[in-house]
Amino acid sequence: MTGARSAVLGAILAVAVAVAEQGLVRLVDASGAKDQPATVLVLLLAAFLGVLTAVITRVLQLPGAAAPTALVIGWILVPPVLGAIPSAATHLFARSAALSVSEGLALVVATIAASITLGVPGER
């Protein structure tokens, strides 16, 4: 049952990551930041999302690899799947699977932040 629990919670976490990532990008767009400040802001928010994903992974007592996996799946796979669902609500979070340079860097930063957070020993 542990494997099924991990898979289901990991899938839910990946959808939550996809929604949060699109929300962060829209937040940066709404802030009016341009060029380098926008990129820096996206990278900082991506690092926060990575740390948050790692903390949620630890709280749910999922395997350590679930956080980076959920980040990658949530960043790359979930948005095109949401775009395939014919609903106005899911199209808000849909985009193509192709990542721009800044999106790729944000994914790398989020994954590194999650890995570093998971590398810190928890309370005993």
Q: Is the predicted pLDDT of residue 92 greater than 80, yes or no?
A: no
Output the pLDDT for position 115: 86
What mean pLDDT do residues 97-113 have?
82
Rounded Cα–Cα distance for residues 73 and 39 (Å) = 22
Output the pLDDT for position 44: 86
Q: Is the predicted pLDDT of residue 28 greater than 70, yes or no?
A: yes
Provide the percentage of residues in the chain whose pLDDT is more than 90.
0
Residue 74 DSSP code? I
Output the pLDDT for position 103: 80
Report pTM: 0.80
- Quote the tokens at residue 49: 């999302």
Rounded Cα–Cα distance for residues 76 and 35 (Å) = 23
Examine residue 60 and state whether it is found in any structural domain, yes or no: yes
Rounded Cα–Cα distance for residues 19 and 33 (Å) = 21
Closest by CA to 70, choosing from 16, 109, 1, 2, is 16
Q: Is the predicted pLDDT of residue 106 greater than 70, yes or no?
A: yes
- DSSP per-residue letters across 39-74: HHHHHHHHHHHHHHHHHHHHHTT--TTHHHHHHHII
Examine residue 124 and state whether it is found in any structural domain, yes or no: no
What mean pLDDT do residues 67-86 have?
85
Give the CA distances from residue 113 to residues 13, 45, 81, 119, in Å, rounded to whole numbers and listed in that order.
16, 11, 26, 10
pLDDT digits (tens, 9 = 90+) for 52-75: 998 898 888 888 888 888 888 888
Rounded Cα–Cα distance for residues 107 and 81 (Å) = 18
- Quote the tokens at residue 85: 């669902």
Residue 38 DSSP code? H
Number of domains in the chain: 1
Domain of residue 115: give its range: 2-119
Examine residue 22 and state whether it is found in any structural domain, yes or no: yes
What mean pLDDT do residues 5-19 have?
88
